[in-house]
Amino acid sequence: MLLSLVVHTYSLRYWFPATVMLGTAPAYLLSWGAWRLLSSVLPARVYHKLDDRLYCVYQSMVLFFFENYTGVEIVIYGDIPKTKENVIYLSNHQCTADWIIADMLAIRQKALGHVRYVLKDGLKWLPLYGWYFSQHGGAYVKRSAKFDVKAMQEKLLTQTQSGAPMYLVIFPEGTRYNPELKNVIADSQAFATKEGLAVLRHTLTPRMKASHVAIETMRDHLDAVYDVTVAYEGKQGVSGHRKPAPTMPEFLCKEFPRVHIHFDRVDIKEIPSEPMFFRRWLHERFEIKDRLLTDFYESDDADKICKFPGEGKPSPLNLSKTLPSVVILGGPDTAITADGERQETVRADLGVRDAAGLAVGESLPLTNRAEAATMTRTTDMSEAAPFFFLFVLFSLHPNNTRCVHLMQSCSV
């Protein structure tokens, strides 16, 4: 019985945030649908402006759970530009939680609403989210000979011609690297050998087509490529062998202490256009990733193991960037003070942790348990959707200081 209680308590650590995130999705999509209908007679740039703002609100709520709720420490190596840019984000791919890392970097640049993804075609059937990701500017692609270059070009040109800001996330490996799937790794290494490319041990051989099409289609619109390498501390075995990266439930269950992110900005002018040279450039970037990950997971030097080269700077995410979205998506039961300040009443009961792993919120004005409980429930869609939609519309009005104050952290 005690074991059963422990198991159920453990499962609640991810079922609670998963329920909130999924439960608010219908309200979000209803709000977006209303805006899509209203904006059909407006210029495309107007639609994209509010769509990005709505997306920022929802993804900020998601980040509240993945970063503030879990208390995971984000360690960044390299300097993230302080101003927003139009970029392509290229990263190694190892688990279902990788997409949230792009959100973590984007919110630190105030570019969260501009994040869009290149996704494998099968994900378009994902309930609720699959269709919307395409409407937000994402592109679904098929592998190998089935890859439709023209369809991807048209999709991206639709975005750039409307002036939509771009933070396009691509995982060039095409599938996740799992150290336990020896046959997948062997096939990838055999392909590299066949093509005369360096064999990689901690990533799969990158496929160039989606990255090349994206860069060439949007070259005049882009400022840079962000070359990102991600490693999850706590995923190396006792013998030094790498273990599979965390799944999303494991991430939400706080099973590892920190995420290490190596960031390198490459100016778009430095990236070759000709396919053969681009292929070599992309593979060289993954050779660098492979060396970084080899040292991270396998180094015998205590100063190198579980670290990337250079100075790693912890980058805690302030609650002011995420909690307003939890309040907004929580519906009209959420209390907002007259001057527009949040009444932060929930952090203690939600078990939010700061970057040091300490409990946050003991000094907050937790007026009563019933009031706090309303913050953790999934709201009725008919209540939340109109409130959410009108709130964001009002936030666009410069004189509405109450709404603008709450939306500043989600500014796009």
pLDDT for position 240: 59
The full set of domain ranges for the chain reads 73-314
- Residue 237 pLDDT grade (very low, low, confident, very high; cuts 50, 70, 90): low
Give SS3 for 110: coil
Instruction: Report the share of the chain in percent with pLDDT over 90.
Output: 55
pTM for this prediction: 0.79
pLDDT for position 85: 97
Summarize pLDDT for 151-170 with one digit per residue, the tens.
999 999 999 999 999 999 99
pLDDT for position 238: 54
pLDDT for position 13: 78
| Residue 75 bridge partners (DSSP) | 260, 314
With residue 78 as reference, give the H or E element that holds it.
Answer: none
Summarize pLDDT for 319-335 with one digit per residue, the tens.
999 999 998 886 543 33
> Where is average pLDDT lowest: 66-70, 308-312, 335-339?
335-339
73-314: CATH class? alpha beta
Reported residue count of the chain is 412
The pLDDT of residue 296 is above 70: yes
The closest alpha carbon to 297, from 215, 232, 360, belongs to: 232
Summarize pLDDT for 376-403 with one digit per residue, the tens.
333 343 344 444 444 344 333 434 434 4
- Residue 127 pLDDT grade (very low, low, confident, very high; cuts 50, 70, 90): confident
Are 225 and 184 within 8 A, CB to CB? no
Between CA 91 and CA 285 the distance in angstroms is 10
Alpha-carbon distances, residue 87 vs 70, 84, 126 (angstroms): 28, 9, 26
The pLDDT of residue 365 is above 60: no
The pLDDT of residue 373 is above 80: no
> Where is average pLDDT lowest: 39-53, 197-211, 366-380?
366-380
| Residue 167 bridge partners (DSSP) | 87, 115
- Measured in degrees and rounded to the nearest 5, phi and psi for residue 196 equal 75, 30
Name the token pair of 90.
């290229």
**Residue 37 burial (CB count, 10 A):** 9
